[in-house]
Amino acid sequence: MKGSRVPYTPCKLYYDGARDLQAGDFLRTPAGSAYLVQSIRQNSRREYRKHLGCLRWPAAEIPAKARVHPLFWYPRKARAGRPLAQT
């Protein structure tokens, strides 16, 4: 099935602006995807950014008492490609 992801697969994300985010919390997107935060590393240059080690999680299996934070995707600015060698 195209586009489907196997649950419980590890991934890495970064999150800007979450001050009270802790390991064990969940992130949920408006589309219904969910992630369990397993590890957090503070960025040394950007104090507002946290690098997360996550596990994709079925949104229906999030415990009722779990802390859930919203996660919004936004497009990155495209970097200019490397110019080709002139011949």
pLDDT at 3: 57
CA nearest to 42, candidates 68, 15, 12: 15
Comparing 6 with 64, the larger pLDDT belongs to: 64
Give domain status of residue 45, yes or no. yes
Cα angle 63, 65, 67 (rounded to 5 degrees) comes to 90
Alpha helices in 4-79 (DSSP H): none
Domain span holding position 62: 12-70
| Tens of pLDDT, residues 26-84 | 999 888 889 999 999 988 898 888 899 999 998 889 999 999 988 887 766 777 777 77
Question: How many whole angstroms separate alpha carbon 58 and alpha carbon 8?
Answer: 8
**pLDDT value of residue 15:** 86
Query: Considering the domain boundaries, does residue 27 fall inside one?
Result: yes
Query: Is position 58 within any domain?
Result: yes
In a domain, 29, yes or no: yes
Domains identified in the chain, total number = 1
Answer yes or no: is 78 within a domain: no
The model's pTM:
0.75
- The reply to whether 2 falls in a domain is no
- Alpha-carbon dihedral 16, 17, 23, 24, rounded to 10 degrees: -100
Asked if the structure places residue 38 within a domain, the reply is yes
Task: Summarize the confidence of residues 16-27 as an average pLDDT.
Answer: 88
The confidence band for 5, taking pLDDT boundaries of 50, 70 and 90, is: low
What is d(CA 1, CA 23) in angstroms, rounded to the nearest whole number?
A: 31
Any domain includes 82: no
